[in-house]
Structure 1
Amino acid sequence: MEVVGQVSGRRQWSDAEKLEILAEVYRPGGRVCDVIARREVSSSLIYTWRKQLREGTLAGVAPSLPVFAKVQIAEPILPAPQTAACSTGLILIELPSGVRVSVDAGVDAGALTRVLSMLR
């Protein structure tokens, strides 16, 4: 007896399944290659579904528009000697709630994104 690990032929995906798979891709740390292996779906389908979701043609879901934040460039708050000693740079972020976040220019972008999303 032979056990076949993959289904041959075309598979029909419901809109709910497509949205569930896309949700896995969009989770923090989600990677297309991991979802492909776990769900046995081709990468081209995932990219096609992502495009359809952006355009609002997948399951009647309205496309999500990008959210923009107001950015102001301000003079450094730190005294000049400390600023000159810092060779990598300093980024100061002030959120509308009044919360201020100060990070080094070499901060991990993913980590900063997670922190800012929690402070929003």
Structure 2
Amino acid sequence: MEILGRERRRRWTQAQKLEILGAVGANGEPLARVARRYDVSRSQIYNWRHQFKKSGLLPAMVGPTFLPVGIGAPMLEAEPALERRMGSPSIVELCLAQGRRLRFDSGIAAAALTRLIRSVEAA
């Protein structure tokens, strides 16, 4: 990385960009953590990825990607009779970074869930 003159704009070589893109997903490391480590915005990494795929320098993922999933014992419901009568959605448990667990109804709005996950991970 190089900072030039008064502009203070960082210039990344193609090799550095590919290194950063290669770090995403390596050993399960999420894009956000890679962005923080290299002090780059997430949108910049997405832009680089798009540019490299478009130019053919970054191969598109072939086939499905499999992620590890752990299945534990079923959760005990606090008020099973009331929930069944009301027909509420099932409870989902999401395991986050640093051992945090988040439980929510499967009927939660995607935008609300996204805000909730971001606030929990930022804490």
Q: Normalising by the residue count of structure 2, what TM-score does the alignment of the two structures yield? A: 0.43
Q: Which has the higher helix share?
A: 2
Going by fraction, where is strand more abundant, 1 or 2? 2
Give TM-score scaled by structure 1 length. 0.44
Larger radius of gyration: 1
